[in-house]
Copies of this chain bind each other. A is one copy, B any other.
Amino acid sequence: MASISDVAALAGVSRATVSRVLNETGQISKCTKIRVNQAVEKLNYRPNPFARSLATSSTNTAGLVVTSYRGSFFSELLAEVQEEMDRQGKFLLISRGKRSRKSELQAIQKLMDMRCEGLILHTRNLHDEELLELKNEKTPFILLDRKINGLEDRCVVFEHEEAGRLAVNHLLQHGHRKIGCIAGPRHRLTARLRFQGYEMALKESGVECNESLIAEADYDRQGGYRAMSEILSKNPDITAVYSCSEEMCAGAFDLLRELNIKVPEDISIVSFDSVNLCTVMTPGVTTVHFPIKEMAACAAKALSSLMDGHTLSTLKTFKPELRQRESVRVLN
């Protein structure tokens, strides 16, 4: 593979000159510019980005940590970030945090090793303190869907609790009182918040909140199925269910279909969603929307701005929004 020296030789100039015309830096005569470009063309020369990074000690690269690549949720998040970085002319490196504190740490380390000059972190297992420590490094970063005291200016957050409250209130307003809850893994903050929204809504309406109405799952379809089954067996008389993720909602649908229980005639449902899986089900499921795409775009813009040395204006807090479809009926 041709190097800058080859180009220089062919064009009959020094390597410095070649570098100048390539980077459009300094003054070069029309004439040599043409000669150089011809040589570049002829040799099919492509600058080595590693050498360039070494020389400039800058990489123009951002890093993104996500849990996984699997599923629409992450792919939308990823796509938004990538598109923004493309727009900004920055490279993007992606690393998976998988599902443990340790591998999230590794993912970050890997990106730092690659000399990323900015990070977007969508981590679920790292402790607040560890993230706070990161602030000591010079690499700027943005926290996606996480709020940490002392890092407020770097957090793109969503009001999960309020969202849950909104969802359950919708059910309450339609006359439902006996409402099951398919919760996510409550050892994780956001899942806990979604659950607390449920509790809060019930309490505000003076409705008793019974432990047997609640089942936990790992945000996945199978878990949703099991949770729905568990709730139903303990409470055959529920009239509604609140699901904390769309995959779990799909699982709940699986069971209801099996038992020939109709939505919304027999049971009403409202669910969290972010990638419109709930719109594929029949009937369409009323949801509270978690706008991961918009949040990802916001994080990407913010990071880009930081990397360019700008100081950050306050980050937007995203609010939940109810999307009414056909899965809730009025109870009389």
Q: Tell me the A residues contacting B by CB distance below 8 Å.
A: 46-51, 53-54, 59, 68-72, 74-76, 78-79, 82, 94, 96, 109, 112-115, 250, 253, 257, 277, 280-283
Contact = CB atoms under 8 A, between A and B. Distances in A.
A74 B109 CA distance: 26
A75 B78 CA distance: 9
A71 B75 contact: yes
Contact of A280 (B46, B69, B96, B281): B281
29 contacts: A46-B113, A48-B54, A48-B115, A49-B113, A49-B114, A50-B51, A50-B53, A51-B54, A54-B54, A68-B79, A69-B75, A69-B76, A69-B78, A69-B82, A70-B72, A70-B76, A70-B79, A71-B72, A71-B75, A72-B75, A74-B75, A75-B78, A82-B96, A94-B94, A250-B280, A257-B283, A280-B280, A281-B281, A282-B282
A94 B81 CA distance: 13
Q: Quick one: copies of this chain in the complex?
A: 2
Contacts of A277: 280
Nearest to A138: B1
Nearest to A256: B282
A54 B69 CA distance: 30
A76 B282 CA distance: 25
Contacts of A54: 48, 50-51, 54
Contacts of A250: 280
A53 B52 CA distance: 12
Contacts of A78: 69, 75
